[in-house]
Structure 1
Amino acid sequence: MTEQNTKLKRTWGESIQIYLHPRVLGMLFLGFSAGLPFLLIFSTLNVWLREAGVSRSEIGFFAWVGIAFSIKVLWAPLADNYRLPLLGRLGRRRSWMFLGQVGIIVGLVGMSMTDPTQDLAQMAIFALIVAFSSATQDVGLDAYRIEAIGIEHQGAMAANYQLGWRLGALVAGAGALYMAEYSSWFATYQAMAVLMSVGVITVFVVREPVIETNTEESQLEWEVTLQDRLSKGRGAVKDIAEITYRTVGRPFSEFVARNRSTAVIILVFICIYRISDIVMGNMAGPLYVDLGYSKTEIADVTKVFGFFATMAGAYIGGALLMRMGMLQLILLGAVLVVITNLFYAFLAQAGHNMPVLAFTVGADNFTAGLAGTAFIAYLSSLVNKSFTATQYGLFSSIMTLPGKFFSGFSGLIVDATDYTTFFLYASVMGIPAIFMVLYLIRLEKRQKRESLLERVFK
């Protein structure tokens, strides 16, 4: 398989000390700028819309705004091969992050000036601008995170990235709800736009990573033939064909060449791993409102308490990753996701019950942090640094696309049945991921045996 399957034997002290690496610490601020806009177009926005009287079916459709994150692979190749005009002086990675941040600020200001009861379509347009801009920021940020440091630090990078991301989400979640409770949604979204300056400043402070690339290894036979034919072409057609191959074809074919028969299996696994929690999360906000929880109660439990639960899961996941291996930790995460989603079905039956809400949110957020650390590190390990933005863009796009598509129908399901049925349905959607990771673990063991036999009889 790939490097993610190598277990690193370290002491607990060494596993914890890795978080003090300067570049690992630097991910806190970049993670904050990535996490801040996310909830403002999803759960926080859902609370605003539901409070304004927008139907659950219409709120469900807003999940499709998130498809922008699932198609960023379409422009990720540009970030691997081109610097933006003028902004390009910042470097490939930083210029794309900055462009995304400017778009986020514009979109948030537009949302703040829109009344969802008067113009829901305009609200959707500005939310879409935020989503596309945030996805663009992610393209540059993910590439920077992977290129800035070696694979042995990626678990810690993922954990610190999650801490920064969750801090941003905490501000956009609890902070936004507190502000909206005592002021207005207009002032709240204006304040969130100002806070994006944290990301803007960070982009100007961090250094552009310098990496060595090798695009010639692991070529397939058809690629050699194609390159030979391209070299014999002429004029504009030749130039367009070479650019298309270099920016799009080569990154994808390199992944296939490197992973051979397991490439399709890996891609299918990435597609289904997060379906359950993405689908479930779209109706969590409306559930809280319909059960009678105030914005302050939602902020206290789901955002503040949930933040600490997520960070506990993320950092425990980062330490466990150094000791037990990626796939084993990913399996644990997949099982816990199915179990914790069932708790929301119980919450729907319990009604307005703060202890049940705290237990449900705590378990769900701890699982999200643990599984998230493992999965981010896993995706990072699959990337060839010659094509960082393109390949990671592919993985992160297909990771969310199925979940975002199905979550668009979540409001229709709740309206046609009830919350309990919906959350049971969302939980069952996580079962295929468990079987897929079990298969990958089995495949990993078989490949290790074959590799050992090769060395013995060589």
Structure 2
Amino acid sequence: MASAAATEDKPPRPKGWKLLRIALSSRKSATMLGFGFSSGLPYALLIGTLNAWLGEEKIDLATIGVLSWIGLSYSFKFLWSPLVDRLPLPGLERLGRRKSWILLCQVVLVGGFAGLAVTDPSKAIGTFALFAFIAALASATQDVAVDAWRIDVADESTPVELLSSIYQFGYRIASIVGGALALFLAARMPWEGVYLLMAGLISLIVLVTLRAPDTPRPEQGALHASLAEQGELAPQARWLALGVVAVSWAWAIGTILHFMSGMLRPLLPGEKHPSVADFTKAYAPWIVLATVAVPLIVAATTNWLKASGHAVLTQPDHKVTPLRTAANHLYVALVMPLAELSGRLRWGVLVVIGMILSYTLCYNIWGSFAFPFYLQHLHYSKDEVAFASKVFGIFMTIAGISLGGYLFLRLGRMPTILIGAILPVLGNFVYADLAEGAVHIDAVGRTLGLNALFGLFGFDERMVRLLLAISFENISTGIAGAAFVAYLSGIVSRNYTAVQYALLSSMTFLIGSLGRGIAGDTIDRFGYPTMFRWTAAAGAVAILFVLLEWVRVKRAEMAEAKAE
């Protein structure tokens, strides 16, 4: 009863301007606002807005699709997170354990954006891509350090929940600045000037970083004591398992980088760029095998070894060395999350992984081409796209997320997840109609009186088409996003929450990122409508896996009921 009363007395989480006032009321919270902005701005500029610039420079869409693979830096950041956590930076360590890494990343970001500003993508796309990749790598690494900083500095006066809300507030402000404001400015000044201005904004955040509090670095110790207990895998077996997984990941990343460099290098007379479609067909299945199937097989093997008593410790081994500590970090990040998941779900883990890989597929694939689609194909102005996509669209996404939460309460988890898988597929057909002249969108708008409603606010029929398409798409993906985050949060183990969630969530971007290259190639060859329909068909795979997962969950619930 006391616990319930405490919950009822707990004040609601602040929002909006009240949250902003709280954010500026203390050093920690104000710093968190700045760090949220510093994390959100590079992502908006590199993953979305950059493609508007490239489209304006007449860069072919296959190349834009390949260049969007820099987004894999955000998917793979958990691979080098142990390095960020444990490695002191020479010369910068005195600034603080987390601040040193955040400052380094911000300096690199400023240099990366300045490099983009002084490079002409139409003449030196390889150099341009290199600066974009460096900036994406710095941005992803900054995210690792900022996430750790937020957890480290939280206390009773500024709890982690409040800091997380402030972080999201800063991140959303940055999304508007890096999206809507950047497009608005680009309509009035060169893109080079826009990116120099954005580099200047990050330079201002450097001043926030220098003033930020930090926590001391803990002494090296038994990082993961459970690995040293009797019955756990012996160090040699762990290192072998880690080695197999590390080699698989290294091969996959190296293969992607090698193809990107070949695709983006200057051509000699008579040469042609390699085919994105051929690369995707030849290597994408192997990349998925190396980054998903091999780690899953290794994880299942470690479970079998422990269960059968092979290659395990016969007595506790608490030896601590810097090398073993670093290896333990990597083992916990790369092997243990899947080992726990496969041990708990057994063969059902294949359905879960299949669903995770495919759930966001149909809208993740084409998202990088949204700005070229609006600006170059449909010929909307930068101001129109800025408002529709980054202002109006954000409100529609928030509406979708809220609706997703409501559906969870009213319908339950699996029905909402299924709705979240179906709606984005329909959204792709809406966009195919928009690409072909919006005959059906216009009919719906007139029938429901939406054209007249939007007309009251000064929007003509052409603009209403874009707003209706974005409304359906953003509400759909908002529902899907809310459903998927809730699903992932429910499927992870409480013992491995952070690392397991990071690994599983990174998988959601893997196939979508690989598919962007072939999506760009498809647009160049067959046009936008065909690409939208093909990606809608890919979304049907997610629907199938959701249905299989629903069956698995029902069977698990029935088994638990019988056991009771």
1:328 paired residue number: 415
Kept in 2: contact 1:270–1:395 (CA 8 A): yes
Kept in 2: contact 1:36–1:169 (CA 8 A): yes
Kept in 1: contact 2:68–2:368 (CA 8 A): yes
Deviations 1:247-283, CA, capped at 9 Å, x for gaps: 5433442333344333332222111111111112122
1:446 maps to 2:555: yes
Kept in 1: contact 2:359–2:421 (CA 8 A): yes
Task: Indicate which of 116, 122, 126 corresponds to 2:127.
Answer: 122
Deviations 1:132-154, CA, capped at 9 Å, x for gaps: 122223334566789979xxx99
TM-score, normalised to structure 2's length? 0.66
**Higher alpha-carbon deviation: 13-22 or 367-376:** 13-22
Structure 1 Cα separation of the partners of residues 550 and 437 of structure 2 = 38
1:138 maps to 2:148: no
- Partner amino acid for 1:53? K
Deviations 1:265-317, CA, capped at 9 Å, x for gaps: 22221111111111121222222222211111111211221121112222333
**Higher alpha-carbon deviation: 94-103 or 308-317:** 94-103
Task: Indicate which of 262, 276, 292 corresponds to 2:362.
Answer: 276
Task: Indicate which of 152, 174, 179 corresponds to 1:168.
Answer: 174
Distance 1:266 1:157, change over 3 A: farther
Kept in 2: contact 1:159–1:314 (CA 8 A): no
Task: Indicate which of 77, 86, 99 corresponds to 1:82.
Answer: 86
Instruction: Give 3-state SS (helix, strand or coil) of 1:228's partner.
Output: coil
Distance 1:198 1:238, change over 3 A: closer
Matches within 5 A, 1:222-237: 222-223=305-306, 225-228=310-313, 231=317
Q: Unaligned stretches of 5+ in structure 2?
A: 1-7, 24-28, 216-222, 233-302, 439-460
Q: Unaligned stretches of 5+ in structure 1?
A: 1-12
Structure 2 Cα separation of the partners of residues 100 and 84 of structure 1 = 14
Instruction: Give 3-state SS (helix, strand or coil) of 1:117's partner.
Output: coil
Identity %: 34
CA RMSD of aligned residues (A): 4.3
Distance 1:335 1:246, change over 3 A: closer
**Higher alpha-carbon deviation: 408-417 or 49-58:** 49-58
Structure 2 Cα separation of the partners of residues 363 and 164 of structure 1 = 26
Matches within 5 A, 1:13-24: 17=12
- Partner amino acid for 2:434? L
Superposition deviation, residue 112 in structure 1 = 1.8
- Partner amino acid for 1:255? L
Superposition deviation, residue 213 in structure 1 = 8.8
2:424 paired residue number: 337
1:376 paired residue number: 485
- Structure number with bigger Rg: 2
Distance 1:245 1:330, change over 3 A: same
Superposition deviation, residue 334 in structure 1 = 1.2
Structure 1 Cα separation of the partners of residues 434 and 10 of structure 2 = 36
1:3 paired residue number: none
1:179 paired residue number: 185
2:445 paired residue number: none
- Partner amino acid for 1:308? F
Superposition deviation, residue 380 in structure 1 = 3.8
1:313 maps to 2:317: no
Structure 1 Cα separation of the partners of residues 422 and 349 of structure 2 = 24
Matches within 5 A, 1:236-251: 245=331, 248-251=334-337
Higher RCO (CA-CA < 8 Å; seq separation 6+)? 1
Distance 1:30 1:406, change over 3 A: same
**Higher alpha-carbon deviation: 194-203 or 104-113:** 194-203
TM-score, normalised to structure 1's length? 0.79
Distance 1:83 1:429, change over 3 A: same
Deviations 1:402-451, CA, capped at 9 Å, x for gaps: 11111112221112111111111111111111221222223222222222
Superposition deviation, residue 347 in structure 1 = 0.8
Superposition deviation, residue 65 in structure 1 = 1.9
Instruction: Give 3-state SS (helix, strand or coil) of 1:420's partner.
Output: helix
Structure 1 Cα separation of the partners of residues 64 and 344 of structure 2 = 42
1:411 paired residue number: 520
May I ask how many residue pairs the two structures share in their alignment? 438
Kept in 2: contact 1:159–1:318 (CA 8 A): no
